[in-house]
Chain A
Amino acid sequence: MSYLRIQSLGKRYGGVVALDGVSLEIAGAGIYGLIGPNGAGKTTLFDCLAGTTAPDQGRVWLQDQDVTGWPAHRMARLGVARTFQECRILPEETCLDNVLFAAQPQGLGGNLLQMFTRGPGHRVAALDEAMRLLHLVRLQDHAHAPAAELSFGQRRLLEIVSTFMAQPEVLLLDEPASGVNPSLLQVLGDFVKTMMAERPRVMLLVEHNMAFVMDMAQDIIVMHQGQVLERGSPAQVQASAKVVEAYLG
Chain B
Amino acid sequence: MPWMALLMLLGVLALAPWWAAQQPFVLHMLVTACVLVVPAVGLNLMLGHGGLVSLGHMGFAGIGAYVAAVLMVDARWSFGGAVWAAMLAAGAAGGLISLLCFRFRGHFFMIVTLAFGLMLHAVMNNWDSVTRGAAGFAGIPRPTPVRWGDEVWSFGPLPHFYALALAMAVIAFALQYLVVNSNFGRSLAAIRQDERLARSRGVNTLLYKTAVFAIGTALAGMGGVLQVSFLRVAAPASFTMLESINMVLIVIIGGAGSLVGPALGALLYVALPELLRLSNEWRLVIFGVLLVLITLFAPKGLAGLCARAWRRVWPPQSQTPAGAKP
Contact = CB atoms under 8 A, between A and B. Distances in A.
Interface stretch (A13-21, A28-36, A104-112): A104-112
Contacts of A81: 200-201
Interface residues of B, number: 30
A76 B201 contact: yes
A112 B204 CA distance: 13
Given A90-B194, A91-B193, A106 B204 contact: yes
B204 A88 contact: no
A106 B200 contact: no
B324 A111 contact: no
Contacts of A247: none
A166 to B, nearest CB: 7
B197 A115 contact: no
Interface stretch (A141-149, A204-212, A227-235): A141-149
A155 interface: no
A106 B202 CA distance: 6
B197 A114 contact: no
A135 interface: no
A108 B207 contact: yes
Interface string B297-325: 00000000000000000000001110111
A137 to B, nearest CB: 15
Contacts of B320: 141-145
Nearest to A90: B193
A89 B194 CA distance: 8
Contact of B202 (A77, A112, A118): A77
Contacts of A116: 178
B186 interface: yes
Interface residues of A, number: 41
A108 B208 contact: yes
A82 interface: yes
User: Which interface residue of A52, A73, A76, A116 has the most chain B CB atoms within 10 A?
Assistant: A73
A192 to B, nearest CB: 19
A166 B200 CA distance: 11
A170 interface: no
A229 B319 CA distance: 52
A141 B197 CA distance: 24
A92 interface: yes
Given A115-B182, A122-B183, A141-B324, 14 more contacts: A52-B199, A73-B199, A76-B199, A76-B201, A84-B200, A90-B197, A92-B189, A106-B203, A108-B204, A111-B183, A115-B179, A141-B320, A142-B320, A149-B325
21 contacts: A52-B196, A72-B196, A73-B200, A73-B202, A90-B197, A97-B186, A101-B190, A106-B204, A111-B184, A111-B187, A112-B184, A115-B178, A115-B182, A118-B178, A118-B182, A121-B183, A141-B323, A141-B324, A142-B320, A142-B324, A166-B201
Interface of B: 178-179, 182-187, 189-190, 193-194, 196-197, 199-205, 207-208, 211, 319-321, 323-325
